Structure 1
């Protein structure tokens, strides 16, 4: 099991992890200011998104286009980093400042050398770009790679192996949409059958954790049975995005291994009451 996850799994010290969703600051999402505030609050895990510029630079950014949260416009992938550096993230800035600049993935990785990063690869180009940066900093043990598209994660793994010359590199992965759907569909099967399903997924697409919503439309995902089954086969269960403290308490009581939140203050309070804070 990759070191990123071992502390949160059953049988270890039992601390579920708290992940600051894009920095847990919707007004300044995916900015250095948001992540810095989360770390100062006590977060040890930061959830973020990465896209790659026209000149191959990985940038911490969620959307395909720039309009929703920046002063720029158009697809991020069509801009160079020098062009993107001129834009600002639009949010509430009481001091009258023009907003936060966009953030290089490498700058975030360097800023917090003891913090874990949960990196959602939003495009195919980010797989190689992020692996190159992680290799440069030898930060494999503190990065978990996620993506709705399993092919992005596999490309990251394969590039990491080429860079290091190691096929046994302990990279942490969470499953993509198809892998998670398979687990949700099969977790009620007898345990030996479910175990074979997970073994096949691990062989085909790598899998150490599942990061899931509480529900998918009318279908409940995070149930006591689902959490138990995942634990029986060594999978960590992280739930996104949970902002209500009562819901946080309910999910922690089910035994989930991590919560992703925009409500940093609320999750910090819930974790502190359990003796699980700070986490950095």
Structure 2
């Protein structure tokens, strides 16, 4: 089972920042997950929320600010004074650092309403241009079907995963229709038989967000193939 740093390594550094990716690498993680959305002027950037308040000194919707404005914000002081001045990275900056560090990547597409396909198309076009031949491509995931459909069109050979909160009725048809290879599931409602059902249907199963080592080991024993964690010890 692989341990995947959640938003870099969000328990030890400000989430979705270059410092968070460096922390993941420093603690021996081989893979990080991060979120991608678009600025008002269509620049793909690494950020989870649809508004700026929680993790920056800015305010308002991310989609209402141009990249040049977002790039000036402080995205570290909220976490700890030592990270004051940390910036929101562009997708280009994040991918470049991950390549330099040898980190595998899971890009979660986080679109604003009405920008689902456009967010995935823009992010994947940039990633395809930057990603070198011979290096395992990023894993692309999303809760939104239009994002995964766009990813399949733009980068058909890159792996994709459907994010779900639980295995509600119709999950199998949805995942098969989107032609994904994996399901990323909230660990809290997961049970052994649900993992077995998903694995039996041919899907890898990864679980989010697991910060308890005992729970991580239980999930591993059930057949979960990866867990997303904020801390390096959850394995």
- Alpha-carbon deviations, 1:61-113, whole Å to 9, x = none? 00001011101111111111111111011334344x63310111111111122
Gaps of at least 5 residues in structure 1 are 1-15, 161-168, 185-196, 271-280
Tell me which of 14, 28, 41 is aligned to 2:14. 28
Gaps of at least 5 residues in structure 2 are none
Are the equivalent residues in 1 in contact too, given 2:31–2:103 (CA < 8 A)?
yes
Are the equivalent residues in 2 in contact too, given 1:115–1:142 (CA < 8 A)?
no
Give the superposition deviation at 1:179.
Answer: 9.4
TM-score (norm 1): 0.73
| The structure with more helix, counted as a fraction of residues | 1
Are the equivalent residues in 1 in contact too, given 2:164–2:186 (CA < 8 A)?
no
CA gap of 1:41–1:20, structure 2 versus 1, over 3 A, is same
Secondary structure class of the residue paired with 1:142: coil
CA gap of 1:181–1:145, structure 2 versus 1, over 3 A, is farther
Q: Give 1:135-174 correspondences, 5 Å limit.
A: 135-138=128-131, 141-160=136-155, 169-174=156-161
**Alpha-carbon RMSD:** 2.2
- Residue 3 of structure 2 is matched in structure 1 by 18
The answer on 1:259 being equivalent to 2:224 is no
- Alpha-carbon deviations, 1:166-208, whole Å to 9, x = none? xxx3221112449953466xxxxxxxxxxxx55x742x21211
- Residue 78 of structure 2 is matched in structure 1 by 91
Alignment size in residue pairs: 224
The answer on 1:230 being equivalent to 2:203 is no
The answer on 1:74 being equivalent to 2:60 is yes
Are the equivalent residues in 1 in contact too, given 2:165–2:185 (CA < 8 A)?
no
The answer on 1:107 being equivalent to 2:93 is yes
TM-score (norm 2): 0.86
CA gap of 1:138–1:180, structure 2 versus 1, over 3 A, is farther
Distance in 1 between residues matched to 2:175 and 2:33, nearest whole Å: 24
Are the equivalent residues in 2 in contact too, given 1:180–1:210 (CA < 8 A)?
no
Distance in 2 between residues matched to 1:151 and 1:177, nearest whole Å: 14
Structure number with greater CO (CA < 8 Å, separation at least 6) is 1
Structure 1 residue runs of 4+, over 3 Å off?
A: 92-95, 138-141, 176-180
Distance in 2 between residues matched to 1:180 and 1:154, nearest whole Å: 20
Secondary structure class of the residue paired with 1:88: coil
